[in-house]
A = this chain, B = another copy of it.
Amino acid sequence: MTAMIDALKALVGPRGLVTGDDMSSYEVGARYGSGRAACVVRPSTTAEVSQVVAFCAAQGIRVVLQGANTGLVGASSPDDTGRQVVLSLARLKQTCVVDAANRSVTVPAGMLLQELNEQLEPHGLWFPIDLGANPSIGGMIAANTGGTRLVRYGDVRHNLLAIEVVLFDPPGEVARFGRALRKDNTGLDLKQLFVGTSGTGGVITQATLEAHPRPRQSATALVVPSSDDAVVALLRKLEGELGDFVSAFEGISGRAMQAAIDHVPDLRNPFAPEPVPDFSMLIELESCSSPAVTGLDLQDTLNRFLEGCFDREVTNAVIGSGAELWHLRHAISEGARGLGKIIAFDVSVPRSMIMAFCREAQALVRERYPHLIVVDFGHIADGGVHFNVAWPKDARASFDPATVQRLRDDVYALAVERYDGSYSAEHGIGPHNLAYYRKYTSPATLSIAHQVQRLLDPQALCGVVSFGPHSESA
């Protein structure tokens, strides 16, 4: 062990190696995943990453890749063996190169989303994937993050032009897949194998992304629907009448809003003195056009649209400041934690079915788990639902992993089997949900994914997950 640590230190320098108690922040995931690492190695260049991978391959040492460690499925945490090396890309922050005329940017994998956007801002550009966290670009690719504005901008996959990867096989070889081009149909698009696969294909060290014009104005409203059917009906109407501008259409259950108001300081019910509604939607429009040229006042336009929906799809609406309404929306997770221990779900269904799914899932919890509280919210426009459930501190039954397991089984079965949905909409696959991957992935997919994974990593150096039908030991 000491010899290994000395050898790695020789490759990356003393600042590049972390051991002992200093590893603790690398050993625990943001939500799930907790283990013990042999050491944490932090290369600062692609060449150093290459040397580290070559060394680990030669020694048969398993690695776990980690960016900003903000992932939610345990895919960047070491296991319990104490033998895995955490390969942190956090120091890969060399120059970011903006080609403003190409609307593209080449970014080191360790750069954070906020840092990237600071680089793009002077050019009137941004990378519009909006999340509740500040992940690294490499981690965003490995998780294929989506977020709240997917309906307008797509996910990371939609905005990825090229990657640089240090391969596991041949160990340490540096490969580039793709170019800074929007059209390049030259056979199999190999960069896709590295998107949303939790680092299992190789170590992403750099990426070229498509950037977008920054919004010049936005408009928001918090809207109460007249019925469940009115929710998606309003979305369709909005896309039909203001389709150029729709950037978010989020659903918030009454429980979720109340939890935020009750447990997060400085939040109030925006509908007061009326009570918090059973369900509401946070609608956001964005325009990247100059109001001086279009003559468009986006908030006025949204208000006019909503007036036309009153007594039809809409019964009430609050036209607040965007910052305030988004603060309320983003406070839900914290608010829910105020209720008790959270059992988090990241499911999706065809958006045409989203309200039906939510109602059926709520009824399921009411009937089978009456002591639990559903605190659901989600992304109506893309069918994503964070169907989170709180186990109250004062519940009559004390927290019980077996019950949590049954609840997970029940909710996923409903989403996947009955609504043809997904048990992992935007958080990806990690040790946390690997059992459901095996349960819900077809034999054909398991077989092909397994072969592709072994083709890219024949030694199983990446110790996070196996996409095949079984787990594998090193």
A binding-site residues for B, Cβ under 8 Å: 99-104, 124, 143-144, 146, 150-151, 154-155, 157-158, 167, 173, 175-177, 179-190, 192-193, 195-197, 212-213, 232-233, 235-236, 239-245, 287-290, 293-296, 301, 304-305, 308, 348-353, 379, 382-384, 420-429, 437, 440-442, 444-445, 448-449, 451-453, 455-456, 467
Contacts and interface: CB of A to CB of B under 8 A. Distances in A.
B448 A190 contact: yes
B104 A187 contact: no
Nearest to A213: B243
B445 A175 contact: yes
Nearest to A177: B445
A448 B455 contact: yes
Number of copies of this chain that the complex holds:
2
B305 A301 contact: no
In the A-B complex, list the 6 residue pairs whose CB atoms are closest, starting with the nearest. Answer: A101-B352, A243-B288, A192-B192, A183-B425, A213-B243, A175-B444
A187 B422 contact: no
Contacts of A104: 350
Contact of A100 (B143, B236, B243, B421): B236
A213 B239 contact: yes
B183 A241 contact: no
Would you call the interface of chain A mostly helix, strand, loop, or mixed?
mixed
Contact of A124 (B197, B240, B293): B240
Contact of A186 (B422, B444, B456): B422
A236 B103 CA distance: 9
Contacts of A287: 244
- Which of A177, A181, A453 gathers most chain B CB within 10 Å? A181
A137 to B, nearest CB: 17
A143 B242 CA distance: 32
A294 B379 CA distance: 25
Contact of A181 (B144, B188, B383, B453): B383
A294 B181 contact: no
Given A102-B383, A150-B182, A290 B241 contact: yes
Contacts of A305: 293
A91 B429 CA distance: 39
Given A184-B422, A245-B289, A455-B455, 4 more contacts: A176-B442, A185-B426, A187-B197, A187-B441
Contact of A348 (B182, B301, B420, B467): B182
A212 to B, nearest CB: 8
A262 B366 CA distance: 75
Contact of A187 (B196, B294, B349): B196
Contacts of A212: 243
Contacts of A290: 240-242
B429 A185 contact: yes
A139 B124 CA distance: 38
Contacts of A242: 289-290, 293-294
